[in-house]
Amino acid sequence: MKYAFPDNFWWGSASSALQTEGAREGETTWDYWFAREPNRFHNGVGPQQTSTFYQNWKTDIQLLKQLNHNSFRTSISWARLIPDGIGEVNPEAVDFYNQVIDELNEQGITPFITLFHFDMPMAMQELGGWENRDVVDAYARYAQICFELFGDRVLHWFTFNEPIVPVEGGYLYDFHYPNVVDFRRAATVAYHTVLAHAKAVQAYRAGHYAGEIGIVLNLTPSYPRSQNPVDVKAAHIADLMFNRSFLDPVLRGEYPADLVALLKSYDQLPACKPEDGFLIAEGKIDLLGVNYYQPRRVKCRDSAVNPQAPFMPEWFFDNYEMPGRKMNPYRGWEIYEPGIYDILVNLRDNYGNPRCFISENGMGVENEQRFIENGQINDHYRIEFISEHLTWLHKGISEGCNCLGYHMWTFIDNWSWCNAYKNRYGFIQLDLETQQRTIKKSGEWFAATALNNSFEKE
Ligand code: BGP
């Protein structure tokens, strides 16, 4: 069977500044945390050891071309552009991003640019990070500077990548700096991130720039163990906390009333100002990036909550391990291809079918060297992973979902936060020692699919 995609479908991949650039200038929370606790990072490999995009951007863009990308998302590093977050702009950073953007455009690869991909400047974190409204203002200024500098040639902007992740990692589950466990502080960080997003959208609208602005959210559909009302309720609350806490403000311009009521009843609401509501309403986007890796399966809690334990989302549900689920054992994430379809249908039916695209999907695998055949990694499992997801994506489009493209995580194996180089995601293999790049089988498969705007599958 042949799966053909609409004309001008975006084929490409995503990456981020901190995970690829190297040659760090301007300290981020990652540099700071790594210097103090290198043991928190797989094999003690930190954010300086990357695929050196800062030096290799030109040849890497050639590789993107070889993969037949017509679009590519990366991020600007706030700390590189404005080292202290709020002061002078670094002219070398401006040159670097100008060169990258110009080269992408010249090669016929549309640049998609994210403004914040987990990389808080340390100077801003010292002020309290997203807990401090001054940092919200500093971010809005940074966003405006980016629009002014690059907005004539970048037509697709994203305020944040997966904004819930720094909330979870930094303020609930201890996998990002500042390693706090405190729900109300987490809620404040999430709330201020939405305000920062809305301020950037406001600035973009006010400047009448040529392109469009959106956000990239990791949507993890919440599936209840069963249709028993207590399981359904558990899934609903997980959905409110992890998906709708960002999805509703950016698409509907307001928070779900039942999320607000729930947090209020547990005295976990962040401090709000009366004018915030108007600002949030102005944060509605033009384009939604959807990152999809895994579903969330939940059931009603089996045990009572320990009254001494800190308030957590898990007060309302237990995670559920569905028997027979398909796993990516290296990352510990379930693989559930229909999830991509369910997300699109939810957007179509409940959010007015917004313009959207899959901005990340991918599979991190350990020790891919064992799959080398004739000098090339034969990652047939990744080809299967992509083509299975694409068939569900195709079904969504054929049923009217407004999905405009598919980007993979990622183009060259890169540094993955605390997992460093444990799991590899790239279309292109990176030899960390020599920095040599070799296209994997999946890269060739993707290049052919992008070229044909279609693929065939039994
Ligand atoms: C997404 C992030 C990426 C990337 C990817 C893979 O959540 O946007 O930055 O890293 O996940 O996840 P990980 O690196 O944790 O394996």
| Lookup: tokens for 77 | 């590093």
Distance of CA 440 to the CA centre of its chain: 23
Q: Which two tokens stand for residue 272?
A: 């709000």
Q: Is the Cβ–Cβ distance between 266 and 237 less than 8 Å? A: no
Residues in the chain: 458
Report pLDDT for 6. Answer: 98
pLDDT tens per residue, range 175-190: 999 999 999 999 999 9
Gap between the Cα atoms of 447 and 214, Å rounded? 27
How remote is the CA of residue 416 from the centroid of ligand 1, in Å? 6
Q: Are 289 and 356 in contact (CB under 8 A)?
A: yes
The protein residue with its alpha carbon nearest to ligand 1, atom 2, reads 162
- Token duo for residue 287: 């384009």
| Per-residue confidence band for 80, with pLDDT thresholds at 50, 70 and 90 | very high
Task: Tell whether ligand 1 has an atom less than 6 A from the beta carbon of residue 423.
Answer: yes
Q: Determine what percent of the chain is predicted with pLDDT higher than 70.
A: 100
Closest CA to 16 of 166, 195, 180: 166
Name residue 455's beta-bridge partners. 3
Task: Find out whether the beta carbon of 417 lies less than 6 Å from any atom of ligand 1.
Answer: yes
Nearest CA among 456, 437, 435 for reference residue 445: 456
- Region 8-30: mean pLDDT is 97
What are the beta bridge partners of residue 103? none
Say how many Å lie between the CA of residue 18 and the centre of ligand 1. Answer: 12
Question: What percent of the chain has pLDDT above 90?
Answer: 99
Residue whose C-alpha is closest to residue 75's, from 58, 97, 91: 97
Check whether 380 has a pLDDT greater than 90.
yes
Cα 298 to the center of its chain, rounded Å? 22
Question: Coil, strand, or helix at residue 224?
Answer: strand
**Ligand 1 atom closest to the CA of 331, numbered from 1:** 16
The residue whose C-alpha atom lies closest to atom 4 belonging to ligand 1 is: 416
CA of 44 to the centre of ligand 1 (A): 18
pLDDT in tens, 130-177: 999 999 999 999 999 999 999 999 999 999 999 999 999 999 999 999
Q: For residue 458, what pLDDT is reported?
A: 85
When pLDDT is cut at 50, 70 and 90, the band that residue 339 belongs to is: very high
Separation of 178 CA from ligand 1 center, angstroms?
19
83 HSE (CA, 13 A, CB side)? 9
| CA nearest neighbour of 115 among 148, 147, 86 | 147
Model confidence pLDDT, tens digit, residues 429-444: 999 999 999 999 999 9
The residue written with tokens 């028997």 in the block is 323
Inter-residue contact 13 to 106 (CB < 8 Å): no
DSSP labels, 37-106: -GGGSGGG--TTSS--HHHHHHHHHHHHHHTT-SEEEEE--HHHHSTTSSS---HHHHHHHHHHHHHHHH
DSSP state of 303: S
Distance CA 265, CA 268 (A): 8
Confirm if 281 and 310 have CB atoms less than 8 A apart.
no
**Could you give the count of Cα atoms lying within 13 Å of 268 in the half-sphere of its Cβ?**
21
Query: Token pair for residue 160?
Result: 């944040």
On whether the CB atoms of residues 340 and 394 are closer than 8 A, the answer is no
Q: Could you identify the atom of ligand 1 that is nearest to the CA of residue 165?
A: 7
Q: What is the pLDDT of residues 228-257, one digit of tens each?
A: 999 999 999 999 999 999 999 999 999 999
Give residue 255's pLDDT: 98
**How far are the Cα atoms of 177, 307, 315, 316 from residue 303, in angstroms, in the given order?**
30, 12, 10, 11
Mean pLDDT over 347-360 rounds to 98
Q: Give residue 327 CA to ligand 1 midpoint distance, Å.
A: 17
- Per-residue confidence (pLDDT) for residue 24, from 0 to 100: 87
For residue 364, give the ligand 1 atom closest to its CA.
16
Tens digits of residue pLDDT in 292-310: 999 999 999 999 999 999 9
pLDDT averaged over the chain? 98
Nearest alpha carbon to residue 68 among 369, 352, 365, 427: 427
pLDDT for residue 250 = 99
103 lines ligand 1 (CB under 6 A): no
C-beta of 328 in contact with ligand 1 (< 6 A)? no
Contact status, residue 105 vs residue 111, Cβ threshold 8 Å: yes
* C-alpha of residue 175 to centroid of ligand 1, in Å: 12
- Assess contact for 435 and 447: CB atoms under 8 A: no
- Report helix angle 91-106 to 53-66, nearest 10: 10
For residue 187, give the nearest of 74, 261, 270, 310 by alpha carbon. 270
Does 116 contact ligand 1 (Cβ within 6 A)?
Answer: no
| Contact 331 CB / ligand 1 (< 6 Å) | yes
Please report, for the chain, how many H helices and E strands are present, in that order: 16, 21
Residue 454 has pLDDT above 90, yes or no: yes
270-295 as b/e: b if 16+ CB within 10 A: beeeeebeebbeebbbebbbbbbbbb
User: Is the CA virtual torsion 418, 424, 426, 432 positive or negative?
Assistant: positive
- What's the confidence (pLDDT) of residue 354? 98
Which residue in this structure is represented by tokens 């959210």? 217
Tell me the whole-structure pTM to 2 decimals.
Answer: 0.98
Active-site positions read 162, 360
pLDDT band at 9 (very low <50, low <70, confident <90, very high): very high
Residue 309 identity: A
pLDDT of residue 52: 95
Question: What pLDDT, in 10s, does the model give residues 81-129?
Answer: 999 999 999 999 999 999 999 999 999 999 999 999 999 999 999 999 9
Q: For ligand 1, atom 16, name the residue with the nearest CA.
A: 416
